[in-house]
Amino acid sequence: MKKTIGAGLAMCLVLALAACGSDKKETNTAASASPSASVSPAKSASPSAGPATSPSASASASPKSDAKRTLSYLGKDYTVPAKAEKLVITGSLEAMEDALVLGIKPIGGISVGGKFPAMFKDITGATESIGEKTQPNLETILKLKPEVILGTTKFPQETTDNLGKIATTIPVSHIASNWEANLLMLGDLTGTKDKAQAAINGYKADLAAAKTKLGDAVKSKKVAVIRIRSGSINIYPADVFYNPSLYADLGFAVPSQLTEAKAQQVISLEKFSEMNPDYLFVQFSEEENAEAPKALETLQSNPIWKSINAVKTGKVFVNVVDPLAQGGTAWSKINFLKAAVDKLVN
């Protein structure tokens, strides 16, 4: 990923922060990795945080408090308000999906093609765009005066460091196996941890029911999910995108072609046809195919495509969930499970 923040802008940021007397820093104390986030009171409070309510405040205390605490997430500690209410989400659509599950409305969020994806309409009514995934607008973020910024592990360190000069910045994991930790972290941060845990428990209950519903007959079939981006077929490793839902959760066999993929990988139609799945889920969005808007139609008319088992038997399912969903999040997993099982048993 290219570095999107120039040195000049970084210098302007530093000067602006100095003028405002900002002293927000994240605490990066190393700790052992955990599948869930936890919090504990911070040893000292910083006066630079935005208003937050301390859970131990007396009835006579002011409704506004600068109380701080330590939030532990994936082996690192971050100093955050007692309850964060002014969040900016940048770079991480994963965090936007978690906010959707918990009903959290960020003051600033990622836009795609200059607008918020329709799937986020319930939480972005009053949200200000702070730029695209790879191009956060520091000036806009600074004006919003966030208490916490949710970044992404996809950002280069320089970007995360510059965001950290504005407010405590937490790089949200883009790895699908961290979906529970991501949701619980946001729940801890915003006082909605019970809601986060309920969503996780609900998914696991739905998964158990789905496996019973599928039985063993369907599991002998080959199942795959692909994403059409920039006009090309993309596949993912077994632990990325929606693949964990299919292979780790539902128990389908992993196609050999996926074991060779190290990350998102473009694959030719000829090579993909060798996989020859019996069921195929296709994700296609106009935003990700602006230069090839007819890519899916072209693919569907190709004789090689028509030779695939799933195509011949009418078992190809396009956009069973929103095509901009990230796949490895609570929202994606919850909604994909419901849609996929419905298709697989009919």
- Asked if 244 and 297 count as a contact pair (C-beta separation under 8 A), the reply is no
Domain annotation covers residue 204: no
| 3-state SS assignment for residue 310 | helix
Domain encompassing residue 34: 7-50+63-191
Domain annotation covers residue 1: no
Same domain, 174 and 221: no
pLDDT at residue 113, as a whole number: 84
pLDDT tens readout for residues 247-285? 999 999 999 889 888 889 999 999 999 999 999 999 999
- Asked if 229 and 241 count as a contact pair (C-beta separation under 8 A), the reply is no
Same domain, 142 and 176: yes
Same domain, 222 and 279: yes
Closest C-alpha to 258, from 275, 236, 225: 236
Q: And the tokens for 283?
A: 């994700």
User: What CATH number does residue 230 fall under?
Assistant: 3.40.50.1980
Same domain, 143 and 260: no
Same domain, 75 and 170: yes
pLDDT at residue 2, as a whole number: 38
pLDDT at residue 218, as a whole number: 75
Beta bridge partners of 30: 76
Same domain, 13 and 151: yes
Place of tokens 């619980």: 184
pLDDT at residue 50, as a whole number: 36
pLDDT at residue 187, as a whole number: 98
Q: And the tokens for 325?
A: 């969903």
pLDDT at residue 9, as a whole number: 41
Domain annotation covers residue 167: yes
Domain annotation covers residue 196: no
Same domain, 226 and 108: no
Q: And the tokens for 87?
A: 């969040």
Q: And the tokens for 206?
A: 């739905």
Same domain, 165 and 302: no
DSSP-derived secondary structure letter, 288: G
pLDDT tens readout for residues 23-79? 443 333 333 333 444 434 333 333 333 333 333 333 333 344 578 999 999 999 999
- Asked if 140 and 131 count as a contact pair (C-beta separation under 8 A), the reply is yes
Same domain, 158 and 285: no
Domain annotation covers residue 108: yes
Q: Which residues contact 82 (CB under 8 A, 6 or more apart)?
A: 52, 53, 54, 55, 65, 67, 68, 69
Ranges of residues in the chain with a pLDDT under 70 are 1-65
pLDDT at residue 156, as a whole number: 94
Q: Which residue stretches of the chain are H helix?
A: 7-20, 93-102, 138-144, 157-164, 179-190, 193-214, 243, 256-259, 269-275, 295-300, 303-306, 309-312, 330-344
d(CA 104, CA 330): 14
pLDDT at residue 65, as a whole number: 53
Please tell me the total count of domains within the chain.
Answer: 2
Q: Which residues contact 15 (CB under 8 A, 6 or more apart)?
A: none
| 3-state SS assignment for residue 203 | helix
pLDDT at residue 100, as a whole number: 98
